[in-house]
Amino acid sequence: MDSISVEELADEHLAQARAADSGRSAQALHPGRQYLMRQTLIALREGAGMNEHLAPAEATLLVLRGRVSVSTRNERWEGGAQELLVLPDDRHDLQAHEDSVVLLTTLAGR
């Protein structure tokens, strides 16, 4: 069994996001096509985000630090530290309203 310090990774990736032109940095924590569940730590500096995209049918976003919003054409949800957002099964974007770190969990289709 592997042990990962999420706090240390959050610090590391937030520093990388602050220095990156894109304003973000990410790392797969539970990677591999052979797994159904996938987890990715994503760090975003304030004002950065991810453009509209389609997510798997089942996905959640746990906000570890900061404040983010997820928007579709018709709805918007905000989440702060220690809040869990269930991502819509629809095209959506992600925006950071302050320096933020989130944990994305998805289930891949069989």
**59 CB contacts (<8 Å, ≥6 apart)?**
86, 87, 104, 105, 106, 107
Number of domain units in the chain:
1
User: For the chain, first and last CA: distance in Å?
Assistant: 25
pLDDT of 110 strictly over 60: no
User: What is d(CA 89, CA 1) in angstroms, rounded to the nearest whole number?
Assistant: 32
User: What pTM, to 2 d.p., does this model score?
Assistant: 0.90
Q: Would 1 be classed as within a structural domain?
A: no
Please give the residue range of the domain that contains residue 55. Answer: 6-107
- Considering the domain boundaries, does residue 60 fall inside one? yes
CATH of residue 31's domain is 2.60.120.10
Burial 62-83 (b: 16+ CB within 10 A, else e): bbbbbbbbbbeeeeebebeeee
Give the rounded distance of the alpha carbon of 97 from its chain centre.
13
Q: What is the mean pLDDT of the chain?
A: 91
pLDDT tens figures, 35-73: 788 899 999 999 999 988 777 678 999 999 999 999 999
* Domain-embedded: residue 50: yes
Q: Do 101 and 52 touch, CB atoms closer than 8 A?
A: no
Q: Would you call 87 exposed, middle or buried from its count of C-beta atoms within 10 A (0-12, 13-18, 19+)?
A: buried
Structure confidence at residue 32 (pLDDT): 66
